[in-house]
Structure 1
Amino acid sequence: MTPDAHGVAVLLLTAVALFLFTRDRLPLETSSLIVLIILVAGFQFFPYERNGVPLGPVDFFAGFGNEALITICALMMVGKALETTGALQPLATIVGRAWSTRPLLALLVTLIAAAVLSAFMNNTPIVVLLMPILVSVSLRVKFPVSGVMMPMGLATIIGGMSTTIGTSTNLLVVGIARDLELPAIGMFDFMLPAFLVGGVGLIFLWLIAPRLLPERVPPMADTTPRVFSGHLYVKEGSFAAGKTLSEVLAKTNGQMRVDRIQRSESLFLAKLPSVKFQPGDRIFVKDSPENLKHFEHLLGATLYNISDSEHPVDDDTPLKAEGQQLAEVVVTRGSPLHFRSLAAVRFSASYGLLPLAIHRARAPSSQVTGDLNNIRLRAGDVLLVQGTRDAINTLKSSGNMLVLDGTTDLPHTHRANRALAVMGSVVLAAAVGLMPISVSALIGVGLMLALGCLTWRDAANSLSAPVIMIIVASLALGKAIMGTGMAEYLAGGFVSIASDLPLPVILSAFILIMTVLTNVVSNAAAAVIGTPIAVAIAQQLGVDPTPFVLAVLFGANMSFATPFGYQTNLLILSAGGYKFSDFLRVGIPLTIIMWIGFSIVLPLIYDLG
């Protein structure tokens, strides 16, 4: 067949969309909206019909009410309830104990637990649960967290392949296949190939991946404080005596941070630029030990600890930061810090913590220090903070942010058992065929809210605008590709090239195409665009379309090779101190193993000999 003008335009728009989805500077939701607007406007101003069936702009809005999207959103909310109630905390305790005794076996247990859990719930809460454990154990046992955090994250992706509800990609592929009138795919129908191939992948992550990863230094290599408080005693004849505050700050090139100025036991001076220092004044300052000693030398003052006015700071009396420790705050979607600055949320005033540095997820080699208040934070960024144990615990127990502080104390509420019971009921009802997963998940959200396991604020925060918008835009593109006949055209081109090859080779080639596509663009986009083409290829070859649909499902899930291929990859990128190349070191061999595995197993199971 020869494509018409609308079909060619849709194909070009698809190429543009895939390009836009890879642009980091343009938010994913913005790219998706642009694609949707172009598609709707194009079919509004240039009406189209094929074989007497019109395809209008309103048809592209169907994605907002798509059953798969509703299911994905409902499961995100149910997963959020498990996270905020601390329902999985007992598992964290078991895994944490195992790490203290037999680390190699504990890594295997961690990988299996991550994979099994991710078969039934969103990957993000699982990674959020396990990250503090791995950071804590690495600090206690003194092994590099970089050797285990990435394998854990990739294990959740492998586990998510095994059921229809494991990932949003699975739900989309299964939903589109149903819309194309293929036989229904049950929750566990493709668990066998996922188990066989995924098992090999987990063994690779257990025994080989840690050896491929170089030892990286994470943002919090230890929990010792970096910033200390002290006071500078102004001596007679020193540079500071008789000078104004502005002159003293100029002497330090504006680097000294003055908290307060004390003249007598009960008199504190306002920090005005014109205030003059007198001998006997105490300047309370906060900085690194090196900088504080440098200020002492510049000003001719004497440095003392904050609570010790008798013994000057020297080799015998070092600076102390009593009650102070470090923690990492990982920015996640739905966090109060996501797409906001520290100044906007009044971070220091609200939480009593001092920001020290920001490790940017999308430029992991760069650490931002200095004035951090006006930097707009994004998902995956890691904020290094210092404060008292109580302040860090308060932030951690709020459940609003992912805090890594070297402990395994996780929030756990009396509603945790209720949340687990609801989640189990959601999965069981769908697994036994009592009701569709979309219905059971929505009922589950209602139960979580009614039982107090979830608040409306948490429910709203659990939803990801980028995920929703890219699914809607991809579904619209998929409908346009099908409606204009481009799916059949692309399938015909693929078949004409590969028709002389054996069916297993054709299937293998298609898995590889989907795998490459999902590591370049969103896995949702790859799945939605690839599924109708896969069905058309199978129909033109005259074979069962199910293995080709599963080729899309498995291929679109193999987001191993880049930190931006999957949202959990982004979370562990900065927290583990990784570089982009580290994902290539582990992700490419893992992708090859999984690709070869599915290329062998799928033809055997579905008799494509």
Structure 2
Amino acid sequence: MLEFALPNPHALAVMVLIVVALILFARDSIPLETTSLVVIVALTVGFTLFPFHTERETIQASDFFLGFGHKALVAVCALMILGEGLIRTGALEPVGRFLARLWRRGPAISLLFTLLTTATLSAFINNTPIVVLMLPILIGIGMRTGVSPTGTLIPMGFASILGGMATTIGTSTNLLVVNVAADMGMDNFNMFDFLGPAAIGAGAAILYLWLVVPRMIPERQPPMQDTRSRLYTAQIRIDENSPVVGNTLAEAMERTDENIRVDTVQRGKGAYINPLPDVVLMAGDRITTSDTQANLREFSRVLGGTLFSGDHEVDALHPLSIEGEQLAELVVTPASRLANVRVGDAQLRSRYGVRLLALHRFEEAQERKSPGLDNIQLRSGDVLLVQSTADKLRALKETTDFLILDGSIRLPSKAKAPIALSTIIGVVLLAALNIMPIEISAILGCLVLLVTRCLRWKDAMNALSAQVILIIVSSLAMGAALLKTGGADYLAQLFVYITFGAPPAVVLGGLMLMMGILTNIVSNNAAAVIGTPIAIGIAQRLGMPLEPFVLAVLFGANLSFATPMAYQTNLLIMNAGGYKFGDFVRVGLPLAIGLWLVLTTVLVWAYGM
């Protein structure tokens, strides 16, 4: 049996911090940015107050800020901006149009082609914009054909994750693993070095997603499709015999159980009074409000008033009208500026020109309807049923805050799309041919997009995610602390101790399985950065090649299929398609287990273990 001493106090403290961080990462009630900042502060303050000395160096607390300038973070940010350029210029829209035409001819072969296209694009572009492109197309096809998109959305989303596993730039997770391993002295992976095992695993997985998954998931109804409660703006004129004459506005609102929202109070021609609670109502006053037809009529009855639309009393000849407006479903994107913002503070009407009718969140059985949503904090993946004009909804496609699920809105075609597409191809080729590292070619690509005005600086800044940046920096800081204090070596030694006597193939499979479990519970970036030094330590202690163990971490950290929280695109798909939590477990768990077995087998065979 192996023997080893307990870790030093600094290593033990770092391991405790990592466990706490992983627990906090898994809690929805605490923003990931907050947990990341807690980690950075704890490490820097802790190592300032309690310095750690080795025979060769003293760890400087400021070293934990180096993640902000790490080449992996630079590459991730630059690739996010490049992806934004593809969206802004509509460079990927021809792919969407082609798929939409293909689906009219044969759904079965079209699904296969959609999966292959999604996976291929995701190998070179962040998969979030790919999913953002595909979702409205697939939902729009479902709306036009009357067939629920249930059988297509999860396979498409999972195909984007599979494609991201294939290259060093496919996901931020891959970039982090490759760069952390290089920082530890391992030879750098080239862009397509692990394409072979990834393609074998993805090939088997896509067959499963194409042939099996559509038959596994019960038919679901997208969350808002049955909701048709349009909002109408109207005025309620207070009649002379109304029971609220002489009452304050607050007292009048109590009669409606506080359900009425008063926009303005008009007194006389062109005279308006601020709708303060202590305003005393008089006969002839007109209260302007917006609500459903049924509620407006009920408010009019309760307040003893007459309902007006424009200059006419509402009757059979002059019904309530909202000509030119339509309903649409919007999804809050991971990059949205409105994530974690209260609905009441989001200014949806003034900023975006939309009226909120209802909100759907995946953990709630039914959608919640407006009014009564002001105190709800918006989250990535929330589906909003809104009402607006077609022009305003088209304008929303120019923002990164929402994904429009209304498949009837025409896809844009812009003149600068060829420039954006050529730029991303150039970035990939420069890195693939080893002419320059990906972080440098990607930065060059960003400059090209900005100089050619494919992107404005505002668009580029909006493409960056504070959440992603802070998670990467905190993960790099935890990984560095674990490595420099000897914690990574201790955990590797512990893993070897637990698996003592087992063949290297079993150790490799156990490492990938551990990472696969971890990535479905916490941030996959955090799991990857923490797991990489441990994997290298295990390989060194076993006297085995480093590459298969590092790839075990990389592949394991990408097995984000078993829960909707495991990956940000899973949440987008879950809400948009009306899926249940169990649908992801039913489909994703067999996929994760199957991929784990296939990839472990391929790595063992490829490296002769």
What is residue 456 of structure 1 aligned with on the other side? 457
Aligned twin of 1:120: 124
TM-score after normalising by structure 2 = 0.90
Query: CA–CA distance in 1 between the matches of 2:593 and 2:79?
Result: 31
Deviates more, 1:343-352 or 1:363-372: 363-372
Amino acid at match of 1:144: S
Does the CA-based 8 Å contact 1:29-1:470 persist in structure 2?
yes
Corresponding letter in the other structure for 1:337 = L
Shift of 1:318: 7.8
Tell me the distance in 2 between the aligned counterparts of 1:241 and 1:185. Answer: 76
Does residue 57 (structure 1) correspond to residue 58 (structure 2)? The answer is: no
Deviations 1:388-414 (A, max 9, x none): 222222333456532222325233321
- Please tell me the residue identity of whatever aligns with 1:458: D
1:168 to 146, 162, 172: 172
1 CA distance for matches of 2:535 and 2:266?
75
Aligned letter for 1:552? V
1:527-557 CA-partner distances (Å, limit 9, x unpaired):
1111111111111112112111110000001
Which segment is superposed worse, 213-222 or 514-523? 213-222
Equivalent-residue separation in structure 2 for 1:263 and 1:34 (angstroms):
54
* Larger CA deviation: 341-350 vs 590-599: 341-350
Distance 2:130 2:491 in 1: 38
Residue pair 2:512, 2:552 contacting (<8 A) in 1 also: yes
Q: Cα 1:99–1:476, aligned 2, differ >3 Å: closer, same or farther?
A: same
C-alpha distance in 1 between matches for 2:304 and 2:366: 38
Unaligned regions of 5+ residues in structure 1, if any? none
1: CA distance between counterparts of 2:382 and 2:114? Answer: 24
**Percent of counterpart pairs with the same letter?**
47
Which position in structure 2 is the counterpart of 1:197?
201
Written as runs of structure 1 = structure 2, the 5 A alignment for 1:470-549 is 470-549=471-550
1:381-420 map, 5 Å: 381-398=382-399, 401-420=402-421
Distance across 2 between alignment mates of 1:153 and 1:17: 28
Structure 2 residue 171 is the aligned partner of structure 1 residue 159: no
| Aligned amino acid, residue 227 of structure 1 | L
Q: Following the alignment from structure 1 to structure 2, what is the Cα–Cα distance between the partners of residues 478 and 524?
A: 11
- Residues 312-333 of structure 1 deviation map (CA, whole Å, 9 limit, x = unaligned): 28xxx98654322111222224
Decide whether aligned partners of structure 1 residues 299 and 192 sit closer, same or farther in structure 2, where only a CA change above 3 A counts.
same
Counterpart-to-counterpart distance in 2, 1:407 and 1:489: 57
**TM-score, normalized by length of structure 1?**
0.90
Q: Cα 1:422–1:494, aligned 2, differ >3 Å: closer, same or farther?
A: same
- Work out whether residues 306 and 313 of structure 2, in 8 Å CA contact, stay in contact via their aligned partners in 1: no
1:579-598 matches, within 5 Å, as 579-598=580-599
The DSSP-based 3-state class of the residue aligned with 1:8 is helix
SS in 2 for 1:387: strand
The aligned counterpart of 1:553 is: 554
Structure 2 equivalent of residue 140 of structure 1: 144
Q: Which residue of 2 aligns with 1:346?
A: 347
Deviation at 1:32, TM superposition (A): 1.6
Cα deviation digits, residues 8-33 of structure 1 (max 9, x gap):
22222221221222222222122122
- Once the two structures are superposed, what CA deviation does each residue of 1:86-106 show, in whole Å capped at 9, x if it has no partner? 111111111112223322222
* Distance change (3 Å), C-alpha of 1:240 and 1:86: farther
Question: Root-mean-square deviation (CA), in Å?
Answer: 2.9
State whether residues 87 and 420 of structure 1, in contact with CA within 8 Å, keep that contact through their aligned partners in structure 2: yes
User: Is 1:35 matched up with 2:36?
Assistant: no
Shift of 1:345: 4.6
Quick check: 2:73–2:469 contact (8 Å CA) kept in 1?
A: yes
| Contact 1:356-1:369 at 8 Å conserved across structures | yes
Aligned residue in 2 for 1:430: 431
Deviation, 1:310, is 8.2
Which residue pairs with 2:361 in the alignment? 360
Distance (whole Å) between structure 1 residues aligned to residue 211 and residue 536 of structure 2: 37
C-alpha separation between the residues in 2 aligned to 1:254 and 1:223? 23
Aligned pairs for 1:199-278 within 5 A: 199-221=203-225, 224=228, 226-229=230-233, 246=249, 249-257=253-261, 273-277=279-283
- Secondary structure of the equivalent of 1:148? helix
Q: Between 453-462 and 416-425, report the one with greater CA deviation.
A: 453-462
Q: Residue 422 of structure 2 aligns to which amino acid in structure 1?
A: A
8 Å CA contact 1:131–1:404 kept in 2: the answer is yes
Q: From 75, 92, 114, give the equivalent of 2:96.
A: 92
- Measure, in 2, the Cα distance between the counterparts of 1:100 and 1:318: 39
Letter of the structure 1 residue corresponding to residue 455 of structure 2: L
Structure 2 vs 1, CA of residues 300 and 482 (structure 1 numbering), >3 Å: closer, same or farther? closer
Q: Is the 8 A contact 1:336 1:401 kept in 2?
A: no
Indicate which of 103, 113, 135 corresponds to 1:131.
135
**Structure 2: stretches of 5+ with no match in the other structure:** none
CA deviations on 1:181-213 (whole Å, 9 max, x unpaired) are: 222211111111111111111122222223332
Distance in 1, matches of 2:46 and 2:273, equals 64
Is residue 99–residue 106 contact of structure 1 (8 Å, CA) maintained in 2? yes
**AA partner of residue 33 (structure 1):** L
User: Does 1:70 pair with 2:71?
Assistant: no
